[in-house]
Structure 1
Amino acid sequence: MIGTPFQQEVLRKLSGLSPVYIIGGAVRDSLLGFPSKDLDVVTVLPLDQIVTKLSNWGYKPHTIGVHQPTVSLFQGKDRLDIATFSGDLEKDALRRDFTINAIFQDVKTGEIKDPLCGLQALKEKRLESCGGAEERFQEDGIRILRLIRFAVRYGFDIAPNTWQAAVKQISLLKGVALERVTEELAKILMLEEIENALGLLDDLGYFKMYIPELARLKGLIQNQYHTKDAWDHTRRVVKNAPSTVLLRLAALLHDIGKWETASRECFTWGEIKASARGYTVNEFNLIGKNLKRWLHINVEVHGGKLDNYPDTIVVKRIKPVQTSPEKHFEMVLNGKRHFLQHERESARLVKEFLTRFRWSMVLPGGTSGERELHFLVGHHMQGTLTFMSELKGEIHSLKTRLKARRFAWEIGWDGQSFNSERVENLLDLWKADFLGGKQDAEDNLYRLEGIQSEIRSACTFLKERSRLLNWKFFEGFAREKGLEAEMFGQFKEQVRKRVMFDDKYSLTDLRFLEKEYNFYCKSESSARNNRKPRLK
């Protein structure tokens, strides 16, 4: 009999009262040779009688559901769901989703009942609806996503009429509870053949309707370092990512800001002015850092003109010019393809994306898992940007070691403790991205792995270093200097960074602490001066 000893024990008792049939995924998986944890059964016994009998036998039944109530039993990881039906197997089968899930097995005899030819569908590796496909999807729109999951998990072809009905009725998912949609998407993300699943979801029109940030990556040409467009690259990155919901989802979303930031290299010349939109040169809005310092100065701006917001330039470099050029704008011939600050834009879009689902249900840590997702997406380029010279082969042992410690610290330190798991997650995402279709990635993988090995060693060093630090002498020093509350915390963090990165510094070295204190005082004085309102 299918099931665990606990499930079999309950089913034997119930089958002594009335015929009981195992139905659905457990029968399907058993026939395919896969284990199944949960068991769904049907019987003609009324639900109240089932509850009474189970209670009398010493079990603790739970009645779940309103429209189609089910009696559920739990023991450890085992689950058994019992529903009542009329006794007409074909009628019951026609209300189920797909024929491979409408195969019954008699608990007492072990006999297989197959009213809708589900066995033939299993043999032919064909996925089709029970009866009219449109009607089945209208009964429960989540079946459209289950269609994708089953087809990819088992490597089945989808029957044409079932596929056409799913495409036609993709909007039905708008009426499905966000919790159920999120749970189903999480299961899809965990599939071994996730690249195929993403392709089917795209063909289905799911992304275009529900996650347009992904749909518009299709056909988006990247720079010379990539061999694939942004969408095919994303699918490869998801495939390369470890099979956890957090990392697969981070991989799926890591480049959604590329459509917003796609640009071509250009120059513009003129006076930087302030406006309600920010800072401008001629007819162009500017996006960049420290633009205020260039206000009312004639400059040359080197940057990227956005493809989809052609009145905006993302700044790479600015320099002053003495004379006004004959032209105020020029695209660079065969100029570079840019996605400047795309990781920041991706992180912004992730926050909006999270409001459309309930990912806190399936991410470890709930809402803190959502924050980790946002962090990983927003920092996915940090490794490449930090170790650019090392990735090109310019490795200097001591310099790289110190750089690895700073990188690990900046990623892993949350203000209270060092989180090496966050560092490891970012390294996994970085590697998945690196191997997602970039030129010469396979040839240069040894460099990436060498850098990541150094970062992992840095994590070990930082954890051990943090454990050994004794702050008692430092605290006495800081109190003597009159540092309290916020100022004490600021000074401690300043000193912490120095002693964590390099073990030549000691918390009991008075000369070192005096030097750091003087530096802190100068920094604090400068900060206060900058905060003072300027007289006009």
Structure 2
Amino acid sequence: MIGTPFQQDVLRRLSTLGPVYIVGGAVRDVQLGIPLKDVDAVTAIPFHQIEKNLSDWGYTPHVIGDHQPTISLFRDKARIDISLLAGNVEADALRRDFTINAIYQDVRTGEIKDPLEGLQALSQRMLRACGRAEERFQEDPLRILRLIRLAIRYDFLIEQDTWRAANENLTLLKSVALERVSEELGRILVLDQVDRALGLLDDLHYIEEYIPELYRLKGLEQNKFHTKDAWDHTRHVVKNAPPQVLLRLAALFHDLGKWETASRECHAWGTVTRTDEGYYLDKFQLFGKDIERWTNKEVEIHGGRLDNRQDTIVIKRIKPLKSRPEVPFQWVVNGKRHFLQHEKDSARLVKELLSRFRWSVVLPGGKKGEQELLYLVGHHMLGTLTFINEMRGERDNPKINGKARRFAWQVGWDGQYYKTQKVENLLDLWKADFLGGKQDAEKNLYRLDWIQREIRRESADLEERGRLLDWGFFERFACSKGLAGQHYGQFKEHVRKHVMLNTKNTLTDLRFLEQEYKFFSKLPLKNSLDPKARAASSTGVNPWHREAAKPTSQCGKA
């Protein structure tokens, strides 16, 4: 019989009370030779009787759902769900989604019942709705997404009428709980052939209807370093990413901002002016860093004029005007294709997208998982920009070690803990992006792998070093300076960074601590030091050497 010994025992005992049938994925997967974990069963036995008997037999039944209640039991990783048979087997089959899931096995006899020719559909590798396809999708529109998942997971074709009905009823997905939609999309994203799944979702017009920010990447020409448009590139990046929902989602959304930032290289000359709407040069609105200091000055700008907002220039470089050309604007001949700061726009768009889904139900950490998603999308270019010279062939090992360590610390330290997994996630996304259709990617992969090995080595060392830090000596030093509360915490973080990034610095080196304290006390952004510390400093006596300078009850609170 189908199932683990636990599942089989439950089903045998129930079958002594009346007919019980195994149905759905368990029967389907056995026919396909695929291992299974969960078992679904149906029976006409009254629910109150099932629940009582299961309890009497020592099981702990859980009743789930109100409209169509299900009794669920769990043991280790095995699960069994028992629901009420809708009349007879033939009637029950017509309420199921697809014929391959409407094959029944009698628990007592082992007999297979196949009222809708699901076995034939399995042999044909064909997905066909049970009965009238439009009725099945109207009963539960989530079946439209399940259709895509099953087609890709089992490499099945979709029967024409079933596909047409899914297309015609696509808008009904708006009525489905966001949690259910997000869960089903999460299952699709971790499929091996996820790129094909995204293609089917596009063919179904799901992307256009529900994620238009992604749809508009279709046909978006990229720069000379890419062999694919932004949409095909995205599909390949998703496939290249490890099959984890967080990484696949980050890969799916990492380039959303490219449509808004797509530009062509240009030069512009003139005087920068400021209005209530922003900064301008002639008719062009300007975006970039430190524009304010160029206000009312004549400048030359090298940047990118946006494709979809042609009155806007994103600044790449700006400098004082030396000579004014005859025209205030020129395209760069054979100029580059730019997507300047697209990662920031991608993160902004993802933040807007979060309200349309409930990714927290499928991401590790829930809401924190959503924040990690935003971080990955907003920083997916960090590796490329940090190691651009090394990727071009410059191999200076002392330099790369320091850069790798700083990179790992910047990514992995969250203000409380050092997280190697956060570094791993960004490295995985970076590599998936690199291999997503870039020119000479395979040829230059060894450089990327070399850089990432250095980062991983430094990341592991940072984690170990952080674990071994003993803050006792530092605490006594900080207390001797009168540091407490916020000032103590700020100084601790200041010292931590220097100790973690430079292994020559130690927490027991008094000279190092004095040097950093002197520097820290002069930082303009810090609040004024504790009056006690200022008084001690003014005497010219180092309170560190006084026995009276022991920690107080307030000292060390951050």
| DSSP-derived class of the 1:71 partner | strand
| DSSP-derived class of the 1:442 partner | helix
* 8 Å Cα contact 1:21/1:106 also seen in 2: yes
Say if 1:86 and 1:356 are closer, same or farther in 2 by CA, change over 3 A.
Answer: closer
Amino acid in structure 2 at the alignment position of 1:231: W
In 2, Cα distance between the equivalents of 1:506 and 1:135? 70
Deviation at 1:148, TM superposition (A): 0.3
In 1, Cα distance between the equivalents of 2:509 and 2:57? 72
* 8 Å Cα contact 1:301/1:315 also seen in 2: yes
What is the aligned partner in structure 2 of residue 149 from structure 1? Answer: 149
What is the aligned partner in structure 1 of residue 277 from structure 2? Answer: 277
Say if 1:463 and 1:54 are closer, same or farther in 2 by CA, change over 3 A.
Answer: closer
* 8 Å Cα contact 2:195/2:236 also seen in 1: yes
What is the aligned partner in structure 2 of residue 445 from structure 1? Answer: 445
What is the aligned partner in structure 1 of residue 428 from structure 2? Answer: 428
Post-superposition CA distance 1:3-48 (Å, at most 9, x none)? 1111111211221222211111111011111122221112222222
| DSSP-derived class of the 2:325 partner | coil
Deviation at 1:102, TM superposition (A): 0.6
What is the aligned partner in structure 2 of residue 496 from structure 1? Answer: 496
* 8 Å Cα contact 1:270/1:282 also seen in 2: yes
Q: What does residue range 120-519 of structure 1 map to in structure 2 within 5 Å? A: 120-519=120-519
Say if 1:243 and 1:526 are closer, same or farther in 2 by CA, change over 3 A.
Answer: closer
* 8 Å Cα contact 1:64/1:71 also seen in 2: yes
Deviation at 1:481, TM superposition (A): 4.0
Deviation at 1:457, TM superposition (A): 0.9
* 8 Å Cα contact 1:3/1:37 also seen in 2: yes
Amino acid in structure 2 at the alignment position of 1:436: G
Deviation at 1:375, TM superposition (A): 0.8
In 1, Cα distance between the equivalents of 2:86 and 2:166? 29
Amino acid in structure 2 at the alignment position of 1:496: R
What is the aligned partner in structure 1 of residue 40 from structure 2? Answer: 40
In 1, Cα distance between the equivalents of 2:213 and 2:162? 27
In 1, Cα distance between the equivalents of 2:311 and 2:50? 69
The normalised TM-score by structure 2 is 0.91
In 1, Cα distance between the equivalents of 2:488 and 2:431? 39
Amino acid in structure 1 at the alignment position of 2:51: V
Deviation at 1:299, TM superposition (A): 0.8
Say if 1:526 and 1:74 are closer, same or farther in 2 by CA, change over 3 A.
Answer: closer
Deviates more, 1:257-266 or 1:51-60: 51-60
Amino acid in structure 1 at the alignment position of 2:122: L
Amino acid in structure 2 at the alignment position of 1:95: R
| DSSP-derived class of the 1:506 partner | coil
2:13 is the alignment partner of 1:22: no
Post-superposition CA distance 1:445-481 (Å, at most 9, x none)? 1111111110011012212322333333434444444
In 2, Cα distance between the equivalents of 1:447 and 1:79? 47
In 2, Cα distance between the equivalents of 1:230 and 1:526? 45
* 8 Å Cα contact 1:43/1:87 also seen in 2: no
In 2, Cα distance between the equivalents of 1:51 and 1:507? 62
The normalised TM-score by structure 1 is 0.95
| DSSP-derived class of the 1:418 partner | coil
- Which runs of 5 or more residues in structure 2 are unaligned? 529-558
In 2, Cα distance between the equivalents of 1:520 and 1:417? 22
Deviation at 1:90, TM superposition (A): 1.6
In 1, Cα distance between the equivalents of 2:463 and 2:72? 46
Deviation at 1:511, TM superposition (A): 3.7
* 8 Å Cα contact 1:218/1:231 also seen in 2: yes
* 8 Å Cα contact 2:20/2:106 also seen in 1: yes
Amino acid in structure 2 at the alignment position of 1:254: H
Deviates more, 1:496-505 or 1:98-107: 496-505
Post-superposition CA distance 1:325-369 (Å, at most 9, x none)? 322111212211000001111111111111111111111111111
Deviation at 1:443, TM superposition (A): 0.8
In 1, Cα distance between the equivalents of 2:137 and 2:114? 22
- Which runs of 5 or more residues in structure 1 are unaligned? 529-536
* 8 Å Cα contact 1:273/1:280 also seen in 2: yes
Say if 1:86 and 1:164 are closer, same or farther in 2 by CA, change over 3 A.
Answer: closer
Poorly superposed stretches of 4+, deviation over 6 Å: 525-528
In 2, Cα distance between the equivalents of 1:481 and 1:73? 61
Say if 1:508 and 1:68 are closer, same or farther in 2 by CA, change over 3 A.
Answer: closer
Say if 1:89 and 1:472 are closer, same or farther in 2 by CA, change over 3 A.
Answer: closer
Deviation at 1:268, TM superposition (A): 1.4
| DSSP-derived class of the 1:444 partner | helix
* 8 Å Cα contact 1:260/1:308 also seen in 2: yes
In 1, Cα distance between the equivalents of 2:454 and 2:448? 10
The aligned length equals 528
In 1, Cα distance between the equivalents of 2:57 and 2:461? 58
Amino acid in structure 2 at the alignment position of 1:169: N
In 1, Cα distance between the equivalents of 2:451 and 2:12? 59
Deviation at 1:78, TM superposition (A): 2.2
